[in-house]
Amino acid sequence: MQRPNQQTADPRRVMTGLHFLLGNYALVEGAISAGCDFFAGYPITPANEISERMSQRLPQVGGSFMQGEDELASIYACAGAALAGAKAMTATASAGFNYMQEGLGYCYTVEAPLVVANVMRTRGDNYATQSDIMQLRHGASGDYEAIVVCPTSVQDLFDYTIWAFNLAETYRNPVIIASETTIALMRERLHIPAAEAILLHNRRYTEKTPAEYLPFAAHANAAPDMAPLGKGYNTIYSLNPHDEAGRIDWDPEGFERLYKRITGKIRENEPKISRTQGFYMEDAESVIIAYGSEVRPAREAAQMLREEGKKIGVLQLCNVWPVPEGAIAEVASQVGHIFALEMNLGKYVGEIRRVVKDRCPVTSVTKNRGLVHTPWEVCAAVREVLK
Amino acid sequence: MSVNVNPKANPNAKANPNPKANPKRKFLREEKLPHFFCSGCGCGQVLNYFTQALEALQMDVEKMLTIGGVGCTARMPVYLKSDTFHGVHGRTLAWATGVKLHNSEIPIVIFAGDGDLVSIGGNHFIHAARRNLDVTVIMVNNLNFAMTGGQVAPTTPVGSVTMTTPYGNDEPAFDVAQLAMAAGATHVERWTTSRPVQCEQAIRRALQHKGFSLIEIVSQCPTHFGRYALKSGDPGKLLQWIHQNSYLLDQENRLTAEEKHSKLACGIFRFQAGDSPHLEKKVERAHKQQEDATPNTSNITPNNTAVDQISTLPYPQRLTLCGMGGQGIILASVLLGTAAVTLAGLHAVQTQSYGSEARGGQCQAELIIDREPILSPVAQKKDLLLAMFSEAYHKYIPDLKEDGVLVYDTDLVQPESRKGKSYGVPATQMAVGLGNRMAANMVMLGFLAEMFGVISVEHLEQVVISEVDERFRELDLNAVRAGVEFAGQIKAQERGEA
C-alpha cells in the first residue's frame, strides 16, 4: 500500500477523547494513530505493556503483530516489513536495546524508516534512569546520524510517537523514542485529538520506471524516493557500501559519498528536526537544560526558586539527537549559568558544553538512584552555585 | 579472497543480446558479472541450478525478493535480477518473517551458507521452521566458514583440520536437515553438488511449495575446506569425496551402520502440505477483526469540561494507597484517577510499585490529583494514606504528613496513635458480608468519595460501571454504596460531636 505524502490520521485508528492512561499504552495509541501497521518485539520489563497492547490493537486496524524469538529477530522483522512498505515499530528496554544495535545499523545504512521505543531502565531491575542517552546515538557501528526524541509525560508519549513516525518517514531513518520507566509506567491525563487534527507524513515513492530508477540517488540533504518491493525495481538493500544504483561498491569515493549523504540528511536538517521549549525564559539569568522526565522537576524547581528571587528558566530539549545546537547556543549567549540536569552520572552535559563553549559556565547536575530528581534536589543544586 | 568490482559498469546495462548466450543470463544482473566465487566453488553450480529451476517453472525473478546474509553463498542474490536484502550475518529469516507478515504475496528465496544459517542464524532458523514460514531456503553447506578463511563451522565433520581446529575438530556436526524437521519444516531435502539433476528438481519443488522449504546442498570449497581438511584444492577430487561420503535415503535399509557411519544421507526427508499458522490465520483474523471493530472513542472533550470542586482536601491531593497484592489496590487508584481526569476534568498522576512477589506481597500506588497539570511525579509528603495491610502501613506511614489523614482496614491494620485524623473502616469485613472479600477496595473507594470528596460518589459509580468487569459490577457497586453509607454514619457522628 502506497500512502500519500501527507494525510490526516484515519479516524478508525484514533481514540479521540480524554483518558487516564498508562504511558506505555499512550505510546501505542500514538503509533496506531500515526498509521503503524507492523510491530515485532521481545518480552522485557518495563516495555511489556507496549507489546501487549500492540497485540490487541494492531489486528483491530488490519496491522500485523509478532513476538520475535529475540530482539534481533524483532528489529530485523521490522526492517523487512519497513522495506516492504510498512510503518513498523519495535519496543524494548535498555538491556534489549543492546541487542538491537546491529539491526539499527542496517536500517541507517539502507535508509529504512523505523521507530524504536527504548524504555530506559537500570540494569537488572526496572528503576528509572537516563543512562542510555549516548548509546541511543552511538550504539551501532558505522557512520550515521540518529534522531532521538525525549517525551516528558504520558501526553508526550502519544504526541512524540506520532512525531517520531513522521520524522522516520520524512528522512528514511530510524527514530528512537527515549522513553523512561518514570513515564512508561505512569498513568496520567491524556487528550487524544480528533483524527483530522493529526497530520501524518509518509515516505515518498518514486514515479520513475524500473529502468530509470536509482534507489539511492537523492537530492542533497534529502532521503531518496523508495520503490515498492516485489514490483520489478530490483533494489539491493545491502549493509555493504553501495552506490546510487544500489550496487555493492568498495570504491572509497563511492562509500564516502554514501556516508556523507546519510549523515548529511540529518545534520543539515537539524534546525528543521529539532524542537525545544522554553519556560520562564524572558528574564532568566540562569537556565536548567533538561530532557525527558527530568524536565518536570526542573520546571517545578524553577517556580520554587523564582519565589526566592532567583531568575531561573528551563530549556526543554524535545529531541537530544541531533543536538539542538541553535537553541542551546542562543541560551548560552543570553544567560550567566547553565545547569545540565540528567538522571545519569553526567553524559549529555558533554554535548551541552561542546555547544556552549566558553559563553557561560555549565554545571552538571546528576543522579542515578532509580528515581527522577525531586524539585527540592534541583533547587539545592542550583542554590549551591548561585549563593 | 579477491573482490571483483568494476566501479564504471553501467547500472542500466541491458541483457546480453547475443542469441547464443545462455538463456538463463536473463535472470542475472549483467553488470555484476563476473562473479566473485573462487574457481571450482560450488556456489556457481547452485546459482545455475536455481536459474534452471526458474526457467523450467517460467518464474519471474524480477518480482521476487532474494535474501543473503554474509558469506560466500550469501553473495548469490546480489547476482540475481530481483529485489535483494543483503549484508547482515545470520538475519536472513528474520527479515523474511517481517516481509511475509506484512505482504505474504512476495515470493522469497534465501541463499545461506551453513555458518550464516545454523551458526549465527541458528535461532532464527529453528523458529522460522517452527512457524512454517512460506520461504525457500537454499543452504549451500561447504562444511566450513569459507569467506573468513576456512574456520570450523557447526557442520564441519569430526576430526577435520581447519584454521581454528589445527589438531582436528572435536565437536560433532549438526545434521541440518534433521534439525529443520524437528523444528517443524514441511519440506526438507538434502543433495550434493555431485547430483545436479536432483538439486535442480529439489529447488523446483521448493519454489512451488507453500511453507518452509530447506534445500541443503553439500558443496565443495576447494580454497579452504578442501586444502585444510582434505589436503586437496582440486574441485574434481572434492566432488568425488563428497559423493563418496554421502548415500541416498532409499538405500538406507540396504547399507550397514558401518557403511553409513559419518556419511550424509541425501534425498527427500519430508515433503508435505502444511499451513503457516503464524501468517495465514493471523492475517485472516486481522481482517475479520477490522470489520468488527468500532472506533473506541470517548465523547468527552477536555476544554468544556467543568472542573469539579467537591473535595474537602485542598489541591494538590497526594494520596498513597497500600496493601497486599490481590486486594485491588492498583485498580482502586486507577479508578480514582480515571474518574478525576475523564469525569471531573482534573489532572492526575498515578505511579505504582510491587514487592518482589506480586501476589501476597506488598503493593502500593501513589496518586496526585490537582486542578493544574502536575509536574514532579514525586510527592515528598502525603495528604492521605489508605492502608489495607499491616506491613505496608508500617512502610508508608512515615511518608504521611503529620496532620495528614489515615484510612485503614480495622481488621488488618493496628495503627499507632498519631496527631492527624485516623479513620478505621472494616472494609474487608463489610465486603465479606456482601459476599466477596475482594470488594474491600470498593468499600474503601466509597468511603473516600463520601468522606473527603476525593471524587464524587456519582463519578465513582459511573467509573465502576464503565471500567470494572461486568461479572463484578453489581458486587462492586454494592460495596461502594456500603462504604458511602459507613462514611455517612461517621460524618453524622462527627457532626454530633461538634
Contact between B98 and A88 using a beta-carbon 8 Å cutoff: yes
The interface pTM score, or ipTM, of the predicted complex is: 0.93
Identify whether A232 is part of a domain. Answer: no
Taking the C-alpha atoms of residue A171 and residue B367, their distance in angstroms, rounded to an integer, is 40
pLDDT in single tens digits along all 498 residues of chain B: 333 444 444 444 455 556 677 889 999 999 888 999 999 999 999 999 999 999 999 999 999 999 999 999 999 999 999 999 999 999 999 999 999 999 999 999 999 999 999 999 999 999 999 999 999 999 999 999 999 999 999 999 999 999 999 999 999 999 999 999 999 999 999 999 999 999 999 999 999 999 999 999 999 999 999 999 999 999 999 999 999 999 999 999 999 999 998 899 999 999 998 766 656 656 565 556 555 554 444 444 443 344 555 677 788 999 999 999 889 999 999 999 999 999 999 999 999 876 544 556 889 999 999 999 999 988 779 999 999 999 999 999 999 999 999 999 999 999 999 999 999 999 999 999 999 999 999 999 999 999 999 999 999 999 999 999 999 999 999 999 999 999 999 999 999 887
* Contact present, B441 and B327 (Cβ < 8 Å): yes
Within 343-362 of A, beta carbons closer than 8 Å to B belong to none
Domain C-terminal end among A174, A201, A228: A201
Total domains present in chain A: 2
Please indicate, yes or no, whether residues A194 and A279 belong to a single structural domain of this protein.
no
Task: Give pLDDT tens digits for B92-115.
Answer: 999 999 999 999 999 999 999 999
CATH number for the region B317-497 comes to: 3.40.920.10
Beta strands A114-120 and A147-149 are: unpaired
Tell me what pLDDT residue B497 has. Answer: 81
Residues of chain A positioned with their CB less than 8 A from the CB of B91 = 72-73, 76, 102-103, 106
Domain C-terminal end among A201, A216, A247: A201
Identify whether A238 is part of a domain. Answer: no
Domain boundaries, chain B: 23-280, 317-497
CA distances from A84 to A2, A104, B127, B291 (A): 10, 17, 21, 24
Q: Which of A16, A84, A185 sits opposite B351 (nearest CB)?
A: A185
Does residue A363 belong to the interface with chain B, where contact is any CB pair within 8 Å? no
Task: Give pLDDT tens digits for A207-259.
Answer: 999 999 999 999 878 899 999 999 999 999 999 999 999 998 889 998 899 99
Contact between B62 and A234 using a beta-carbon 8 Å cutoff: yes
Identify whether A148 is part of a domain. Answer: yes
Beta strands B213-218 and B264-271 are: unpaired
Q: Which of A76, A86, A247 sits opposite B11 (nearest CB)?
A: A247
Extract the runs of DSSP E, i.e. beta strands, from chain A.
Answer: 6-8, 17-22, 38-41, 64-67, 88-93, 114-120, 147-149, 174-180, 187-192, 199-201, 236-238, 276-279, 286-290, 312-317, 319-321, 337-342, 362-366
Residues of chain B positioned with their CB less than 8 A from the CB of A63 = 286
Q: Which amino acid is at A155?
A: Q
Residues of chain B positioned with their CB less than 8 A from the CB of A367 = none
Contact between A243 and B87 using a beta-carbon 8 Å cutoff: no
Within 250-279 of A, beta carbons closer than 8 Å to B belong to 250-251, 253-254
* Contact present, A133 and A347 (Cβ < 8 Å): yes
Contact between B87 and A238 using a beta-carbon 8 Å cutoff: yes
Identify whether A115 is part of a domain. Answer: yes
Which residue of A33, A100, A234 to mutate against B (max B Cβ within 10 Å)? A234
Residues of chain A positioned with their CB less than 8 A from the CB of B307 = none
- Cβ within 8 Å of residue B199, ≥6 positions away: B45, B46, B49, B191, B192, B193, B215, B217
Structure letter (DSSP) for residue A121: B
Within 110-169 of A, beta carbons closer than 8 Å to B belong to none
How close, in Å, is residue B122 to chain A by CA atoms?
11
Which residue of A42, A55, A64 to mutate against B (max B Cβ within 10 Å)? A64
Output the domain CATH number for residue A81: 3.40.50.970
How close, in Å, is residue B140 to chain A by CA atoms?
20
Identify whether A197 is part of a domain. Answer: yes
Identify whether A162 is part of a domain. Answer: yes
Please indicate, yes or no, whether residues A33 and A166 belong to a single structural domain of this protein.
yes
Do you find a cis peptide bond into A46, omega within 30 degrees of 0? Answer: yes
Contact between B98 and A76 using a beta-carbon 8 Å cutoff: yes
Confidence of residue A2 (pLDDT cuts 50, 70, 90): confident
CB pairs under 8 A between A and B: 241
Does residue A45 belong to the interface with chain B, where contact is any CB pair within 8 Å? no
Does residue A103 belong to the interface with chain B, where contact is any CB pair within 8 Å? yes
Contact between B103 and A84 using a beta-carbon 8 Å cutoff: yes
Q: Is the pLDDT of residue A166 over 60?
A: yes
Residue of A nearest to B31 (CA): A247
Output the domain CATH number for residue A308: 3.40.50.920
Structure-block grid coordinates of residue A8: 490526516
Please indicate, yes or no, whether residues A102 and A195 belong to a single structural domain of this protein.
yes
Residues of chain B positioned with their CB less than 8 A from the CB of A372 = 376-378
Within 285-344 of A, beta carbons closer than 8 Å to B belong to 293, 296-297, 299-300
Task: Give pLDDT tens digits for B334-356.
Answer: 999 999 999 999 999 999 876 54
Instruction: For domain B23-280, say whether CATH 1.10.30.50 is its number.
Output: no
Domain C-terminal end among A201, A225, A251: A201
A106: domain range?
A: 6-201
